[in-house]
Amino acid sequence: MGGWTGQFLRVNLSKGVCSKEKLDPTIARDFIGGRGLASKILYNETDPKVDPLSPQNKILFATGPLTGTGATAGSRYMTVTKSPLTGAIASSNMGGYFPAEMKFAGYDLIIVEGKSEKPVYLWINNDQVEIRCAEHIWGKTVWEVEDLLKAETDEEAKFASIGPAGEKLVRFACVINDKHRGGRSGVGAVMGSKNLKAIAVRGTKGLKVARKDAFLEVVMAAMAKLKAAPVTGQGLPTYGTPIVVNIINAHGFFPTRNFQEGVFATANKISGETMRETTLIRNKACFGCPIACSRVTEVKEGPFKGVGEGPEYEALWSLGADCGIDNLEAVTKANYLCNELGMDPISVGATLACAMEMYEKGIISESDVGRSLNFGDPEALVEMTEKAGRREGFGNVLAEGALRVAQKYGHPEFFMGVKGQEFPAYDGRGAQGMALNYATSNRGACHVRGYTIAPEVFGIPLKMDPFTTEGKAAIDKAFQDITAIVDSSGLCLFLTFGIGMEEILPMLEAATGAGYNMENLLKAGERIWNLERLFNIREGFTAADDTLPKRILEEPIPAGPAQGKVARLSEMLPEYYRLRGWDEQGVPTNEKLRELGLA
Amino acid sequence: MPKVLSINPEKCTACRSCELACSIRHLGEFNPARSRIKVSIFMEEAIYLPITCTQCDQAWCARICPTFAIVRDPVTMAFTVKDEKCVGCRMCALACPFGVIVVYPDKGKAEKCDHCLSTGGDPECVKFCVPLALEYRDEDVAVKAKQKATAMKLKETYKEVTV
């Protein structure tokens, strides 16, 4: 067997003990790795109703069998835990260099449990693992931490760390890899609650695949296909994800001013095309990635001066259009702040947008905020981003996320999201498949659990009308299951714009030799999705949580190409449950659980 | 015809696929720490530099080697380490001004980029380099391409000063 290292690391911070354990090959095969494997371990090892920010919660850093193997874009891992934002299962996907370095150090996963009395960081140098004092770096930003720890560990070490936001338990704090890569659902707050500031890793071991020649052959074929495909060969390398700004705006479901509109008149000012002409220095890749979609950028002068990476499409939307802001330099600055302080820019922008709407409607006052909070104010954006990350002033309110802000002021209807997690950058009213995906996603509103925008806008792998509900339940289920496979393998989801299961299956099989075929691999994806569902049911989630805000269900988009559209969830959800083999309450039937080996 | 591994840092995306390619070819496993080509990443300056053996014409490593283990291919002019002759004395590592020939304790033999000649030629890193920052070319072609690129830049400068 290959791909997996076959070993994982368990770190108990309460006891100050690190131990190495062997990976169960059957569980590894059935749940693949990454998101799937870590969800299985979290499900088995934690009690239901555990407080996400208590020592009883665990956080898992989980690579997949393809991470670090030379597979195209095999750069990813997942941080899996119970989310302090949603109370549901959280799995945040990240790339960069850290995940592969974990594999070269000899670990498929790192499980962190308990809570340290004092701030600590973990230093993993191949077989040697130390829990070290982090009092001198507590309070520092992610960027400062990486530079300081590099000096006291190894020049070649890679880092996953939290900033002040994670320390202060901001509910949408993230773990940041390699300075610029974070994820959603508040996994950074869980790390902060354990007083774990960072993980530093250096690995110099080799990683084997089961059938080398077959593996290299399929990797070469995948590489050629990715280069030839328009999105992965041209669009993403040239413009990065920001290429999507103008496209979605032109389709009329680019959510604007907290989803009050679907078209942002000046969207081009925050588009990939404008970025390329102004802030972009060059592009950059994650480990082993032929696409290289990341943007290294700079704001050269003025109040928003800075250097860093991004923003990505989602952040251009959340910190931009959703807050009514078309000042690219301010949006870029706010994005840098999110990376430095360790926060998910989607939730930051979306929470601010929610507060801005309530401010303009007179529900939140100037004295509540300590300043004006109108849509379109770039100074407010930058100031509030910094304050949220440090829980200062009104930032302390924003740090709770949009749902809790809306509830605090007695108007939960202004929360635009699902299961406590704010929507990302597509209005479900304009893309019915995405609406269904948001409602059913196991981590709350999320676009990368079943990215139906691929068929609904880009025509990949086939063109579907975004406004119809027909066939959407089936495509959602298929996309969700395949995404679970991709996320669990250690691959990047963006590959699926250029290659499909015809490449992913042979890559995974040649790497692992675990006996995967199309049938059992697709079953594994479905198994992972159902396991996450079981986790959430155990936490008390029901079919009533598979819903969308009233605005999305009942208030039509006021103007533009998607004018008059609402999300017709009730036309899709029963069929979705049926296709999933769940009962009318959205609970997997015993028959389905037996079929998946989850009974 | 002499060949060169031509490196264009401007095209590099810092994906480090060359390191993966090199290690799987020569060690049979993925291990960037043992790659004979290494991408140095200066994140703040956004500069990514792939560095490997330049195949010096007057190669210090070959000249100092007491067992004559480092030999030059008469066709491509790249230097290969003959494992059967190498005694792992590290004189080559000491002599190399670029730090691109290394003796690892587990194998005890000098390891350097030989354009994959010892394993059948056709450099693996080049095959993995999607952005074409690495190219394996005839030396005169590579030189002409560089001269042309320099001329293009000079032309722009010339236009600026003459307009």
**CATH classification of A432-595 is 1.10.599.10, yes or no?**
yes
φ, ψ of residue A196 to 5 degrees: the values are -100, 110
Of the candidates A444, A266, A473, A261, the one whose C-alpha atom is nearest the C-alpha of residue A353 is: A261
pTM: 0.96
Tell which of B8, B13, B49 to mutate to test the A interface (max A CBs under 10 Å).
Answer: B13
Contact A220/B at CB under 8 A: yes
- Minimal Cβ distance to A207: which of B31, B43, B131: B31
d(CA B91, nearest CA chain A) in Å: 24
Q: What is the least distance, in Å, from the CA of A147 to any CA of chain B?
A: 11
pLDDT per position as a tens digit, A349-363: 999 999 999 999 999
Q: What is the pLDDT of residues A54-112, one digit of tens each?
A: 999 999 999 999 999 999 999 999 999 999 999 999 999 999 999 999 999 999 999 99
| Pairwise CB contact (< 8 Å): A290 & B23 | no
Q: Where along chain B do its domains lie?
A: 1-52+113-163, 57-109
* The one-letter amino acid at A538: R
Span A187-216, mean pLDDT? Answer: 98
* CB atoms A70 and B16 under 8 Å: no
pLDDT at B1: 80
Looking at residue A17, what is its pLDDT? 97
What's the mean pLDDT in A247-266?
98
Tokens of A330: 């301010």
Which of these, A74, A73, A63, A72, lies nearest to A37 by C-alpha position?
A: A63
What does the mean pLDDT of chain A come to? 97
For A81, phi then psi, to 5°, come to -165, 180
- The reply to whether domains B1-52+113-163 and B57-109 share a CATH topology is yes
A220/B127 CB distance under 8 A: yes
In contact, A489 and A65? CB cutoff 8 Å: yes
Nearest neighbour of B31 by CB, restricted to A104, A216, A220: A104
Q: Are A237 and A304 in contact (CB under 8 A)?
A: no
Give the integer Cα–Cα distance in Å for A53 and B87: 57
Q: What is the mean pLDDT of residues B141-148?
A: 85
Chain B residues with a Cβ under 8 Å from any Cβ in chain A: 13-17, 20-21, 23-24, 27-34, 43-44, 46, 48, 127-128, 130-131
Q: Does domain A237-422 have CATH number 3.40.1390.10?
A: no
pLDDT confidence band for B146 (50 / 70 / 90): confident
CATH of A7-202, picked from 3.60.9.10, 3.30.1330.90, 3.40.50.10140, 3.10.20.30, is 3.60.9.10
Contacts of B105 (CB under 8 A, 6+ apart): none
User: In the numeric block, which tokens belong to residue A581?
Assistant: 């083999």
The more confident residue out of B2 and A101 is: A101
* Cα separation, B161 vs B64, whole angstroms: 50
User: Is the model's pLDDT at B142 over the cut of 90?
Assistant: no
Q: Which residue has the tokens 């076959």?
A: A6
Question: Model confidence over B105-116: pLDDT tens digits?
Answer: 999 999 999 999
d(CA A492, CA A507): 13
pLDDT over 90 (residue A507): yes
The H or E element containing residue A82 is strand A77-82
What's the CA gap between A225 and A223, in Å, rounded?
5
- The shortest C-alpha distance from B11 to chain A (Å) reads 10
Residue A549 has pLDDT above 90, yes or no: yes
Sort out which chain B residues have CB atoms less than 8 A from A69's CB and list them.
Answer: 20, 30
pLDDT at residue A182 tops 90? no
For helices A328-341 and A142-152, what crossing angle results, to 10°?
50
Q: Please give the C-alpha separations between residue A397 and each of A364, A389, A393, in angstroms, as whole numbers.
A: 11, 11, 8
Q: Which residue matches tokens 């006996």? A: A515
Cα of B137 to nearest chain A Cα, Å: 20
Yes or no, beta carbons of A290 and B15 under 8 Å apart: yes
pLDDT (tens digit per residue) in B51-106: 999 999 999 999 999 999 999 999 999 999 999 999 999 999 999 999 999 999 99
Angle between helices A378-390 and A345-360 (to 10 degrees): 120
**A309: CB partners within 8 A, 6+ apart:** A179, A180, A284, A294, A295, A296, A297, A339
- Give the separation between CA A207 and CA B29, rounded to whole angstroms: 5
Q: Which of B14, B30, B128 sits opposite A207 (nearest CB)?
A: B30
Range from A361-375, A470-484, B74-88, B131-145 carrying the lowest mean pLDDT? B131-145
**Distances, alpha carbon A42 to alpha carbons A8, A110, A112, A152, B29, in Å:** 14, 12, 11, 32, 31
Please give the class, per CATH, of domain B1-52+113-163: alpha beta
For tokens 């490997």, the residue is B52
The structure tokens listed for A143 are 């960027």
Task: Provide, as residue numbers in chain A, all residues whose Cβ is less than 8 Å from the Cβ of B50.
Answer: none
Asked if pLDDT for residue B144 goes beyond 90, the answer is no
Tell me the average pLDDT across A38-44.
98
Q: What is the Cα–Cα distance from B41 to A370, expressed in whole angstroms?
A: 43
DSSP category for residue B96: -
CB of A518 within 8 Å of a chain B CB? The answer is no
DSSP A557: P
The span from the CA of A202 to the CA of A531, in Å, is 32
pLDDT score of A124 more than 80:
yes
Q: Shortest CA distance to A86 belongs to which of A324, A558, A419?
A: A419
Residue A513 in tokens = 């030799």
**Nearest CA-CA distance, residue B57 and chain A, Å:** 31
CA distance B44 to chain A (A): 8
Return the number of other C-beta atoms located less than 10 Å from residue A150's C-beta: 15
With beta carbons less than 8 A apart as the criterion, state whether B50 and B7 touch: yes
CA B32 remoteness from chain centre: 15
DSSP label at residue A530: H
pLDDT(A594) > 70: yes
CB contact under 8 A, A286 and B34: no
In contact, A33 and A488? CB cutoff 8 Å: yes
Tell me, yes or no, if A211 comes closer than 8 A to chain B by beta carbon. no
> Strand, helix or coil at A195?
coil
Region for A437 from its dihedrals, namely left if φ exceeds 0, alpha if ψ lies in -120 to 50, beta otherwise: alpha
Q: Report yes or no: A251 and A262 within 8 Å, Cβ to Cβ.
A: no
Per the CB < 8 A criterion, the answer to whether A105 and A199 are in contact is no
Q: Three-state DSSP class for A177?
A: strand
State the pLDDT at residue B163.
Answer: 65
Q: Is the pLDDT of residue A375 over 90?
A: yes
- CB contact under 8 Å between B32 and A104, yes or no, is yes
Average pLDDT over residues A179-207: 95
- In chain B, which residues have their Cβ closer than 8 Å to the Cβ of A220? 127
Q: Which of the residues A219, A232, A280 would you substitute to probe the B interface, choosing the one with the greatest number of B C-beta atoms within 10 Å?
A: A219
Under an 8 A CB cutoff, do A285 and B27 touch? no
Report helix angle A518-538 to A34-45, nearest 10.
Answer: 40
User: Do residues A581 and A595 touch, judged by C-beta distance below 8 A?
Assistant: yes
Dihedral angle sign, alpha carbons of residues B87, B89, B95, B96 = positive
SS3 state of residue A112: strand
Read off the amino acid at residue A97: Y
Q: What secondary structure letter does DSSP report for A320?
A: I
Q: Cα separation of A231 and A190, whole Å?
A: 35
Helix (H) or strand (E) segment spanning residue B137: strand B134-138
Domain boundary assignment for chain A: 7-202, 237-422, 432-595
The verdict on A501 touching B (C-beta cutoff 8 Å) is no
Q: Residues of B with CB below 8 A from A300's CB? A: none
Phi, psi of A347 (to 5 degrees): -65, -35
Interface test with B, best of A144, A150, A159, A207 (most B CBs within 10 A): A207
Q: What sign does the dihedral B21-B27-B30-B36 (CA atoms) show?
A: negative
Distance CA B163, CA A314 (A): 44
CA distances for A122 relative to A18, A23, A119, A298, A339, angstroms = 10, 21, 10, 32, 21
The CA-CA-CA angle for residues A534, A540, A541, to 5°, reads 70
Query: What is the DSSP-derived secondary structure letter of residue A173?
Result: B
Q: How far is CA A199 from the centre of its chain?
A: 19
Residue B134 contacts residue B115 (beta carbons within 8 Å): no
pLDDT digits (tens, 9 = 90+) for A143-168: 999 999 999 999 999 999 999 999 99
3 state DSSP class of A62: strand
Give the CA-trace dihedral at A166, A147, A183, A301, to 10 degrees. Answer: 100
Could A288 and B17 be called an inter-chain contact, meaning their C-beta atoms sit closer than 8 Å?
Answer: yes
In this model, does residue A565 exceed pLDDT 90? yes
Angle at the Cα of A214 (from B111 to A488), degrees rounded to 5? 95
Q: Cis omega before residue A311 (within 30°)?
A: yes
**Helix residue ranges, H only, A153-211:** 164-167, 187-193
Closest-CA residue to B52 (of B6, B119, B86, B95): B6
CB-based contact A216 B24, cutoff 8 Å: yes
- The DSSP bridge partners found for residue A62 are A78, A109
Task: Name the CATH topology of B57-109.
Answer: Alpha-Beta Plaits (3.30.70)
Tens-digit pLDDT profile for residues A397-429: 999 999 999 999 999 999 999 999 999 999 999
